[in-house]
């Protein structure tokens, strides 16, 4: 299924109601526009992933990041006073945090963001193995690498996750609708205690310029008659005006000790 058909497909939830309402589509679009306005250096790479993944996060949940500078700044700027601030931590620490969440806050989840170029393969395999064994409520979200990986660095992490007993879902990193659907389902699964998931965000570009998630979403909204003229400019202006009055708290480093498998 190509990105546009994924965005156009009707997915029904309980009682036949659409999984993604028009209001939610507009919220996802606005979230991407705000992210792009706040951190221009990361534009075109991560807005869709962060907008989709953070849409279902709750105050009791935890977010960890092991990502390059602009992306880390982007996710820091995604947080709100009602949501948890991101913790700078490797995936082994994130897995330990998930164990704590499981024991102390049933129903809470951990969103652990990382890029493949910053992974330590054996440590990540151990984390996957431990998370699967204990059915931890964690979503490992692999972002597109900022550099092309070749040779020994180019791991098939979807395959590795399956070997370790973790469900893996590859998804287009620029399709916010597909990302939201995956995040919605996998987060519910984690909250119900059925275990971890690896969400493998792929840099899929079917044609030149196809990596612009905001432009894709604008086309989708326009087809549904939801995009008003000047909507993006209004969101950007309102956000930048508000951002000028609000100071952000930088990501804190995790002080947790890692788990032992």
The pLDDT mean for the chain works out to 81
Q: At what angle do helices 22-38 and 231-243 cross, to 10 degrees?
A: 50
Segment 114-129 mean pLDDT = 92
pTM, 2 dp: 0.81
User: Tell me, what's the pLDDT at 12?
Assistant: 34
Which of 99, 113, 118 has the alpha carbon at shortest distance from 195? 99
Judged on CB neighbours under 10 Å (0-12, 13-18, 19+), 204 is middle
Taking only the tens place, the pLDDT of each residue in 20-30 is 899 999 999 99
Taking only the tens place, the pLDDT of each residue in 141-190 is 999 887 776 666 678 898 999 999 999 999 999 999 999 999 999 999 99
- 260: pLDDT strictly greater than 60: no
Instruction: State the Cα–Cα distance between residues 198 and 161, nearest whole angstrom.
Output: 7
Taking only the tens place, the pLDDT of each residue in 209-252 is 566 899 999 999 999 999 888 888 898 888 778 766 444 445 55
Looking at the structure, give the CATH architecture of the domain made up of residues 3-249: 3-Layer(aba) Sandwich (3.40)
């Amino acid at each position: 299924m190509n990105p546009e058909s994924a965005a156009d497909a009707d997915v029904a939830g309980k009682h036949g109601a659409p999984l993604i309402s028009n209001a939610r589509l507009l919220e996802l679009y606005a979230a991407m526009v705000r992210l792009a306005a706040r951190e221009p250096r990361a534009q075109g790479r991560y807005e869709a992933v962060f907008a989709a993944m953070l849409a279902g996060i709750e105050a009791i949940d935890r977010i960890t990041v092991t990502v390059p500078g602009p992306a880390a700044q982007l996710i820091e700027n995604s947080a709100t006073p009602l949501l948890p601030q991101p913790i700078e931590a490797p995936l082994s620490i994130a897995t330990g945090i998930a164990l704590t969440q499981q024991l102390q806050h049933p129903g809470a989840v951990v969103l652990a963001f990382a890029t493949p170029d910053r992974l330590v393969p054996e440590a990540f395999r151990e984390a996957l193995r431990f998370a699967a064994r204990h059915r931890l409520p964690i979503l490992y979200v692999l972002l597109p690498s900022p550099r092309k990986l070749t040779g020994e660095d180019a791991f098939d992490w979807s395959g590795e996750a399956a070997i370790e007993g973790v469900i893996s879902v590859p998804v287009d990193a620029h399709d916010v609708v597909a990302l939201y659907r995956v995040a919605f389902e996998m987060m519910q699964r984690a909250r119900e205690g059925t275990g971890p998931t690896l969400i493998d965000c792929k840099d899929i570009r079917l044609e030149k310029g196809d990596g612009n998630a905001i432009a894709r979403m604008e086309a989708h909204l326009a087809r549904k008659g939801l995009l008003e003229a000047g909507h993006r400019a209004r969101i950007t202006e309102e956000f930048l005006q508000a951002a000028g009055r609000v100071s952000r708290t930088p990501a804190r480093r995790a002080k947790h000790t890692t788990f032992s498998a």
